[in-house]
Amino acid sequence: MRQSLFVSILHDIQQVNEYFIQTRDATGAPGLSSVPKMTAALRILQYGVPTDAVDEYIRIGESTAITALNFFTGSIVATYEVVYLRSPNEADVARLLQEGEQREFPGMLGSLDCVHWRWDKCPSAQVGAYTGHYHKPTVVLEAVASYDLWIWHAFFGMPGSLNDITVHDRSLLFAELTRGRAPAANYTSNNHAYTMGYYLADGIYPRCATIVKTISQPQGAKRQLFARMQEACRKDVEREFGVLQARFNIVSVPARGWSDEDLYYIMKTCIILHNMISEDERDIPENERSAAQLETDTSNLGCQVSGDPNEKYAQFMLNRQRIRSVEAHNVIHNDLIEHLWSRVGELD
C-alpha cells in the first residue's frame, strides 16, 4: 500500500486501540513505537510467515508480534467494516448495473462463489466437522466480487464439510433484500422490466430469481453463446480470489491459528485492506470515497417499526418467495439468452 494509506490507517486505529500509542515505562524510557507494531502485523498478513520470523527485520519478539497481529486485525474490523464491507447503496447499485449493461448482462451485480482456506492447526475435536472433500480441515469463505476487484459480500467461518449450497443457505447475502431494505435494481432485459438484480454463479447454486447460472451442456448456438459469456463474466470472483491470495499470502498458505475466531478476524482484515488498497489505487477524489458516501447515505436513516407485525411478516415471506422463485429464474435466464443473442449473436 502507499505510504499515505499506511499513515492514515495507523492514525485511525490509534483512535480505537491504545495499544498502538507509544508510551513510556516507569523509568521514562520510550516503549515500542506504533510503526513497527503495525509493520509486523502487515508483514505476517502479506507474506504468511510465522510470527517469530518478523523478529529478524522488525526486532520484536514472537509474543509481541502475536499481540500486535491480534490487536491490529480487531482494530481494522472494528474501524472499517461498516465502510469497506458494506452492502451496495443506491449509487453503488446504479454503477454496478451500468457496468453489467456494458458487459451485456443487464441487472448483474457481481459474481458469487466460495473458496476454502486450509486450517493446519484445527483442534482435534473439530477436525471431523471442518473436513470435507479436500480431506483436510478447511474454513469456507463466500464472497461476491465485481469487475473492479471490489468485494461486496464476505461470509466467512463455515466448516469445510459444507458445500456451496449449505454455506449460501446460512449467509446473509439476501437478508436486506428479504426485509425490503435493499436498493431497487431496475433494469430491462429482452423488453421485460425487473426490479431485483442478480449474481452470476456456477452450476451448484440453486435456481432462484437472484442467481443466474451457466448451462452445463448447452445445446444450440444461443445457449452456447450464453454459457460462454456467463462463464467469462463469472471469472470476476475467481480472479478476485487470486488477487486476494497473491496480495495477502497468509490466506493462501495453510492457517496456523488455533482459534477459528482469530481466523475470522484475519480473513476479514485482509478483505477490508484489499478493498482499501483497490480504492486508493483508483485515485478516487476525496469527496467521493466510501466514507463520504456512507455518511451521506446513512445520515437521515431512522428506525421505522411497522404498526402491524403480521403485515411485516407477510411482506417478509412474499419477498422470500420472490427471491426463491424457480419460475422467475427461468424467465430471467431465457430473457438473458435472447438478449445476448440479439446483441452479440450476429457479430459472433
Residues 293-298: contacts with CB under 8 Å, at least 24 apart: 293/89, 293/91, 293/92, 294/82, 294/83, 294/86, 294/89, 297/89, 297/90, 297/91
Question: Rounded to whole angstroms, how far apart are CA atoms 127 and 125?
Answer: 6
Residue 157 lies in a domain: yes
Whether residues 49 and 76 fall in one domain: yes
Task: Work out the average pLDDT over 310-320.
Answer: 85
CB count within 10 Å of CB 132 equals 16
Print burial letters for 265-286: b (CB count within 10 Å at least 16), e (below 16): bbbbbbbbbbbbebbeeeeeee
Which three-class secondary structure state does DSSP give residue 270?
helix
Whether residues 17 and 63 fall in one domain: yes
Whether residues 77 and 97 fall in one domain: no
Instruction: Quote the cell numbers at residue 164.
Output: 456451496
Whether residues 41 and 66 fall in one domain: yes
Does the structure show a pLDDT above 60 at 294? no
For position 283, what pLDDT does the model report?
61
Give me the torsion for CA of 115, 172, 243, 231, rounded to 10°: 70
Print burial letters for 56-91: b (CB count within 10 Å at least 16), e (below 16): eebebeeebbbbbbbbbbbbbbebbeebbbbbbbee
Does the structure show a pLDDT above 90 at 291? no
Whether residues 222 and 141 fall in one domain: yes
Give tens-digit pLDDT for 187-220.
999 889 999 999 999 989 999 999 999 988 888 8
Answer with the one of 35, 65, 84 that is the final residue of a domain. Answer: 84
The answer to whether 157 touches 176, Cβ cutoff 8 Å, is no
For position 61, what pLDDT does the model report?
85
Residue 176 lies in a domain: yes
Answer with the one of 84, 109, 124 that is the final residue of a domain. Answer: 84
Does the structure show a pLDDT above 90 at 57? no
What crossing angle do the helices spanning 34-47 and 3-16 adopt, rounded to 10°? Answer: 110
For position 235, what pLDDT does the model report?
92
* Residue with cell string 422490466: 193
Residue 62 CB partners (closer than 8 Å, separation 6+): 51, 52, 55
Give tens-digit pLDDT for 2-32.
899 999 999 999 999 998 888 887 888 887 8
Residue 161 CB partners (closer than 8 Å, separation 6+): 128, 129, 130, 131, 132
Residue 258 lies in a domain: no
For position 228, what pLDDT does the model report?
93
For position 307, what pLDDT does the model report?
57
Does the structure show a pLDDT above 50 at 154? yes
Overall number of domains in the chain: 2
Instruction: Quote the cell numbers at residue 90.
Output: 443506491
DSSP secondary structure letter of residue 192: E
Answer with the one of 34, 60, 84 that is the final residue of a domain. Answer: 84
Whether residues 80 and 97 fall in one domain: no
Residue 213 CB partners (closer than 8 Å, separation 6+): 200, 201, 202, 203, 205, 207, 230, 333
Taken in order 167, 170, 173, 178, the sign of the CA dihedral is: positive
Mean pLDDT, the chain, integer: 87
Residue 293 lies in a domain: no
Whether residues 34 and 107 fall in one domain: no
Q: Which amino acid is at 245?
A: Q
Domain of 75?
A: 3-84
Specify the pairing of strand 108-118 against strand 138-145: antiparallel
